[in-house]
Amino acid sequence: MGVGAGVASDCCGVVTFPTIAYTRERLSPEKSIAAAREFLRTIRQRRTVRSFSPDPVPDEVLILAIQAAASAPSGANMQPWKFVIVKDPELKRRIRVAAEKEEKANYEGRMPEAWLRALAPLQTDWHKEFLDMAPALIVVFKEDYGAGPDGRHITHYYVNESVGIACGFLLCALNAAGLVTLTHTPSPMNFLRDILDRPKNEKAFLLIPVGYPAKRCRVPDIRKKTLDEVLIVR
Ligand code: IYR
């Protein structure tokens, strides 16, 4: 198999990608540590926020953050994701109404007692005002399979892992830009495909209200596990 830079090679009927030189410069240990420390400082400022200011956010930030998300690694580079930005108040309203209908059924019967007890400290309930209030919702869809131009079925691999990683990139990018997010998963969320008019190979994966925190926004005083609790070195 030829691996020369920029040379597509063909072996046994398989066309491989040409390769390009990977040229990112190596950081010194000091610079590397400083960069990791700065990233940690920034990401530790991220909090899941449930009360949003209605102030608009720059479209360009949303677009750049989605470009960051879409640069994520994915199984066989299939990039099995779509991102829908919803700013239209009428669409946000329809999403809120549909989400609250499902969440009311969840909180008032479908969720087992143990789940309700686990959520009680967070004081969540079926009211989802943030779906109207946040200036933008980003709905991330996963593609369980792709559709070729001729309607051909394209198999996707590690879809949940790939889209989960892309969502992580998206949250980091929005946080770096000073915006707050909520990782919301109304369940079930099939209604999003209908309301947003998406094809049947797409399934809603995560609904992310994005914006600025409301004035006097409060968040639960939770703690993250310590390094000792999460790190094993062998
Ligand atoms: N999706 C519901 C319930 C919920 C579930 C979990 I797990 C949370 O961490 C938070 C909420 C809701 O949005 O209220």
| Phi–psi pair at 136, nearest 5 degrees | -145, 145
Amino acid in position 71:
S
* Residue 10 pLDDT class (50, 70, 90 cuts): low
Q: For residue 124, how far is its CA from the centre of ligand 1 (angstroms)?
A: 7
Q: Residues 6 or more apart from 129 whose CB is under 8 A from it? A: 51, 96
Question: For 95-111, what is the mean pLDDT?
Answer: 97
Kindly state if the Cβ of 50 falls inside 6 Å of ligand 1.
no
* Residue 129 pLDDT class (50, 70, 90 cuts): very high
In this predicted structure, the answer to whether residue 220 has a pLDDT above a threshold of 90 is: yes
Question: For 66-78, what is the mean pLDDT?
Answer: 98
Q: What is the chain's length?
A: 234
pLDDT tens-digit map of 24-50: 999 999 999 999 999 999 999 999 999
* Local structure of residue 211 (DSSP, 8 states): E
Q: For residue 48, how far is its CA from the centre of ligand 1 (angstroms)?
A: 12
- For the chain, percent of residues with pLDDT exceeding 70: 95
Question: For 123-139, what is the mean pLDDT?
Answer: 97
Q: For residue 119, how far is its CA from the centre of ligand 1 (angstroms)?
A: 7
Place of tokens 């998300």: 69
Torsion of CA 107, 47, 27, 69, to 10 degrees: 50
Ligand 1 atom with least separation from CA of 185: 1
* Residue 4 pLDDT class (50, 70, 90 cuts): very low
pLDDT score for 8: 53
* Residue 13 pLDDT class (50, 70, 90 cuts): confident
Q: For residue 184, how far is its CA from the centre of ligand 1 (angstroms)?
A: 7
In this predicted structure, the answer to whether residue 3 has a pLDDT above a threshold of 90 is: no
Question: For 215-228, what is the mean pLDDT?
Answer: 97
d(CA 94, CA 202) in angstroms, rounded, equals: 19
Ligand 1 atom with least separation from CA of 115: 7
pLDDT tens-digit map of 163-219: 999 999 999 999 999 999 999 999 999 999 999 999 999 999 999 999 999 999 999
Kindly state if the Cβ of 48 falls inside 6 Å of ligand 1.
no
Q: From residue 96, give the alpha-carbon distance in Å to each of 110, 129, 140, 165, 214.
A: 19, 7, 16, 26, 18
Ligand 1 atom with least separation from CA of 184: 13
Ligand 1 atom with least separation from CA of 124: 14
Q: Count CA within 13 A, CB hemisphere, residue 87.
A: 9
Kindly state if the Cβ of 184 falls inside 6 Å of ligand 1.
yes
pLDDT score for 180: 98
